[in-house]
Structure 1
Amino acid sequence: MSAVLSIVRHTSDIVLAWFRKEGTTRDEVESARQRAEAALREAEARLHQADRQHEEFLAVLAHELRNLLTPISTAAQLLKYTDQDPARIRATSDIIGRQVSHITRLFDDLLDVSHMQDGRLQLDLSPQDIKTVLSEAIEQVRSTLAERHQQLELELDDDDIVVIGEYARLVQVFVTLLSNAARHTPPGGQVVLSAHAAGQSAEMCVRGNGAGIVPDALPHVFDPITQVGPAKAQRGESGLGLMLAKKLVQLHGGTVTSYSKGPGTGSCYTVLLPQIETGGNDGHANSG
């Protein structure tokens, strides 16, 4: 950061020297100096903010990893006292398996972020039946919904809806949105998944009747934890999943937006993807 600030200061000095050589008035030089200093202060403030956000993100990431590792450690200790009880061994093994899956997904997200930043994330695009994509996403979150005793309601068009995309990545987007809706919907609540043709676009919505989102946070729900503040930090959420979902939708030529009337009103995430016309059976997704 100090190197960047040195460059900014050096550049402002060069600009002021140039003004003086060109015979500008003292007032013009002073005005230019004040603008350069103001720009420097703004750049310095942004760099300090970025530094803080980076540190906060690492802290939340470490907190989330610790939260995932603690049940594994506890389960490992319990295995010492199971007395060969098959049911207890199976339950303890399930705990370890779930937590390892969460950790694996977290590291996969981190790798995806890295690949996106350096341009190495490439998509294998082909026609995909969005209903097939959604069906697979539902299967992956079904156990989460069952554990929370939540009802999933489907609102799907009768006609096929086909988009161009990569099957696994589209599934990843909707697994993220459905998991997010389940996590923020109270036990026994309802999650609604809809898919409709909307002109030349396919419109998919994931709605939950959970906590809702305060207006000030709406523009930042797809940003990492550092952009949102204490709400996600208290839950130990890094925010990587939603950020990746947004980036993946954009790579598919679409958009994803969030909407909520406020706290206690639930929230809705809407994905728009370009729809393609098919003459019959074209566009159906393969199974992977």
Structure 2
Amino acid sequence: MEMSFRRKRQKTIKLRTLFLKYLAVFCAGTIGLVLAIVLIFSGLMTIGAILPANYAEQQVMQIREEIQAGQQPELDDPHALFRYAKYTLDGRLLEHNLSSEQAAAAWNLLEDREFIYRYPYNYAKAVNDQDVYILRYSLSAQFNHPGMQRVLPNAEICFIVIFCIAFLIGVGLLASSFGRKLTLKLSGLQEAAKHIQKQDLAFAIRYSGIAEIDQVLQSMDQMRNALRNSLERQWKLERSRRQQVSALAHDVKTPLTIVRGNADLLAETDLTAEQEEYVRYIAESAGKMEDYINRLIEITKAEHAASYQPVHFTICPFIQKIEDQMNALAVTKSLACNVITCGLPDTVYGDPGLLERALMNVIANAVDHSPYGGKLTFIAEQIPGSIRFCIRDEGPGFSPEALRLAAEPFYMGDASRGASGHYGMGLYITQFVADLHGGKLLIANSEAAGGGEVSLTLPYEEPAHET
């Protein structure tokens, strides 16, 4: 019974609604921040921690009245919000807390004026019978504490800077929150895409609650169901095809055995030379047909997933077994065999029976295409992330067509291969075994040996070392 993987849909909202919610939070936060800055500023002004913008002007006007009345004003009061310069009537500087350059510039500005504004300061002149005073001040709110006045001479700018910093922090936090929220909503879409990419179709669609995203997820769910149904039909057809091929092969073996047996019996009777030749043709053809049918049965068994039984096996005895069989095959052509191992781990995870069959198919193919007295090289090594088995021969190598099609079933680029009993199945079986192990089959021509080079790589991860 098929299980339903679709979860209950939650109430959805539009993406623009989610955006408007964050926009509302942003606007409310900005307004709240402005109100908080204004309230804090007003509170500090109420308790006298911040002096109003015209406070300095009031001080200057009071000092100016005292000077014009002939009194000696208190100009060095630490709470004074102005700076001054005292001159003689002809402009000679007597005392000041402005710099000499600022005092000279102030005299030039007010030589024939009593008040003037030059950004960012206001200037006022007070004259009595003997001296001239010029007072410089700023129309801006200032902190009451002298130390704060030196560090932060303009309280308004200080609070504007505080507002900007708080505003940027708020925008950053809100943007980060929106990004995390959107990423969370999109995670179901990413998860579904990964499952489909891996052809894992038995998963639950996790809806986001965002209408636009859920529409895409719904389409992916429909695509998942359609793909699963299509794959199930394909798997059933493929299984049926294998069963039919296997059944047909077994059915043909019976009459073929009868034909071959009768041909053998006929060969034992008195025959003419011509009849003996015909019987020999029948026996040889029946033998080839029987071998071909055995190959069909073998490939249908190899394609059955149940034949894959991976275990952790020791690599050294496995390599020795491959080497022994390679030496036995190489004797028929007096081939020199060279086995190279490099950095192999103690154990490998895989199906040793299938791997042995795959490698021996490649080695048998290399032996068939090697010249008499040539050299055959078998390399087993560990490379980053993989275990690599490589077989090189000194034969003619692969043609451009064979490089593309050698792993296809029943491909025989060289007609002579049919005579040796391969029927184009060897590299196809090797490719299938590599796929079962999550590895790769690479077919190339060796620059070092000049012949063919076939590599089978298996994924391998280094075991974690305890610290």
**Residue identity opposite 1:111 in structure 2:** I
Given the alignment of the two structures, is residue 111 of structure 1 paired with residue 297 of structure 2, yes or no?
Answer: yes
Alpha-carbon deviations, 1:227-259, whole Å to 9, x = none? 747464576640112111110111111111110
Counterparts of residues 30-69 of structure 1 (less than 5 Å):
none
Given the alignment of the two structures, is residue 246 of structure 1 paired with residue 431 of structure 2, yes or no?
Answer: yes
CA distance in 2, matches of 1:126, 1:146: 32
- SS in structure 1 opposite 2:296? helix
8 Å CA contact 1:201–1:275 kept in 2: the answer is: yes
8 Å CA contact 1:213–1:260 kept in 2: the answer is: yes
Kindly tell me the number of residue pairs found equivalent between the two proteins: 187
- SS in structure 2 opposite 1:225? coil
**Which residue in the other structure is 2:387 paired with?**
202
**Which residue in the other structure is 2:444 paired with?**
259
Q: 1:228 to 1:246 in 2, by over 3 A?
A: same
- Among 398, 401, 405, the alignment partner of 1:216 is 401
**Which residue in the other structure is 1:138 paired with?**
323
**Which residue in the other structure is 2:458 paired with?**
273
Structure 1 gaps, min length 5: 1-57, 59-64, 78-99, 281-288
Counterparts of residues 72-83 of structure 1 (less than 5 Å):
none
How does the TM-score come out when normalised to structure 2?
Answer: 0.35
CA distance in 2, matches of 1:144, 1:103: 24
**Which residue in the other structure is 2:369 paired with?**
184
Q: CA deviation at 1:265?
A: 2.9
Q: CA deviation at 1:182?
A: 1.0
- SS in structure 1 opposite 2:307? coil
8 Å CA contact 2:343–2:382 kept in 1: the answer is: no
RMSD: 3.8
Q: 1:177 to 1:236 in 2, by over 3 A?
A: closer
8 Å CA contact 1:208–1:268 kept in 2: the answer is: yes
Q: 1:137 to 1:243 in 2, by over 3 A?
A: same
Alpha-carbon deviations, 1:63-120, whole Å to 9, x = none? xx9xxx9xxx7xx98xxxxxxxxxxxxxxxxxxxxxx9x9998655422322355x45
Give the structure with the larger helix fraction.
Answer: 1
**Which residue in the other structure is 1:21 paired with?**
none
Of all paired residues, the percent bearing the same amino acid is 20
Q: CA deviation at 1:128?
A: 2.5
- SS in structure 2 opposite 1:253? coil
Q: CA deviation at 1:224?
A: 2.9
8 Å CA contact 1:109–1:240 kept in 2: the answer is: yes
CA distance in 1, matches of 2:464, 2:292: 40
Q: Choose 197-206 or 129-138, whichever is displaced more.
A: 129-138
**Residue identity opposite 1:160 in structure 2:** P
CA distance in 2, matches of 1:181, 1:192: 10
**Which residue in the other structure is 1:167 paired with?**
352
CA distance in 2, matches of 1:104, 1:276: 43
**Residue identity opposite 1:270 in structure 2:** S
